[in-house]
Amino acid sequence: MTKTEERADYLPGGMIIHQRPDVFTYSMDAVLLAMFADAARAESVIDLCAGTGAIPLLLASKTQAAIRAVELQPKLCRLMERSISTNGLQEQIRVEERDLLTLNPAVDGPVDLVTCNPPYFAAPKMRQPLEEAGAKQIARHEVACSLQEVTAKAAALVRPKGKAAFVHRPERMAELFAAMQQVNLEPKRVQLIHPKPGRDANILLVEAVKDGAPGMKVEHPWTVYQENGEYEPAFYKYVLKGEGLHA
């Protein structure tokens, strides 16, 4: 199989996701966010920066809520649509091929839950035109939207006391918290993911409540691998085997 060929992979829990290595493939970060996000009582969900749809697909295992998957890139939208069709979720998940900055809260909100796996890295100082950026660059760097813009849009879309859940890098934790609080998203739950025992965390999960009161719970961290390179048994069962989808 070449990098330009589409492939069908399995998500935790058994759903099929269509991907292309040369365009974009989902990462563990998306799986962790889907497990972390509290969708139990949600009736409406928007996933921003949806990529190939890993988060919407996994959330569909946790909730009966209507899910809208917003993604800017046409190639990713086509892959996502095929995954939704393959899994028979056309009635629950709707793909919206659009710039998230064009979402209008008066029309597109309010919703109970917003999830987002945004670009992690700041745009280069010499920012190139969006049409010249590659698919992976748009997904990984703040070429199409900044951290401040995506948190502001999440806040605008979610209802009062609704929730917004993000996955990001720990080194940008302070920046993410500041951006959230500037738009009345109060961080309420935080979880850190460590690659191995004794290693610094490399993944940050945050859930905020719109207009929430101060007070944050730091949940027990996950460790992904044992020192011998094998998965930690608890992490393997909860995340990779999909038990967290039904917790």
Report pLDDT digits (tens) over 44-96.
999 999 999 999 999 999 999 999 999 998 999 999 999 999 999 999 999 99
- Would residue 174 count as lying in a domain? yes
Query: Distance between CA atoms of 140 and 119, rounded to whole angstroms?
Result: 4
Arithmetic mean of pLDDT, 173-177: 96
For 219-234, the pLDDT digits (tens) are 999 999 999 999 999 9
- Would residue 70 count as lying in a domain? yes
- Would residue 189 count as lying in a domain? yes
- Percent residues over pLDDT 70 in the chain: 87
- Percent residues over pLDDT 90 in the chain: 80
pLDDT at residue 131 tops 70: no
Query: Distance between CA atoms of 246 and 10, rounded to whole angstroms?
Result: 17
In this predicted structure, what is the pLDDT of residue 23? 81
- Residue 94 domain boundaries: 7-246
Contacts of 234 (CB under 8 A, 6+ apart): 222
For 9-26, the pLDDT digits (tens) are 999 999 999 999 888 889
Could you give the C-alpha distances from 102 to 17, 43, 90, 105, 107, in angstroms and in order? 27, 23, 24, 10, 11
pTM of the model: 0.90
Structure tokens at 5: 């060929």
- Would residue 26 count as lying in a domain? yes
- Would residue 193 count as lying in a domain? yes
- Would residue 161 count as lying in a domain? yes
- Would residue 1 count as lying in a domain? no
Give the number of domains in the chain: 1
Domain harbouring 121, CATH code: 3.40.50.150
Query: Nearest 5°: phi and psi at 17?
Result: -125, 130
Query: Distance between CA atoms of 207 and 35, rounded to whole angstroms?
Result: 12
In this predicted structure, what is the pLDDT of residue 132? 47
pLDDT at residue 108 tops 50: yes
Place 244 in a pLDDT band, splitting at 50, 70 and 90.
Answer: confident
pLDDT at residue 4 tops 80: no
Query: Distance between CA atoms of 120 and 143, rounded to whole angstroms?
Result: 11
Of residues 230, 154, 216, 227, the one with CA closest to residue 185: 154
The secondary structure of residue 18, as a DSSP letter, is E
Could you give the C-alpha distances from 44 to 36, 121, 143, 158, 243, in angstroms and in order? 17, 29, 28, 10, 23
- Would residue 2 count as lying in a domain? no
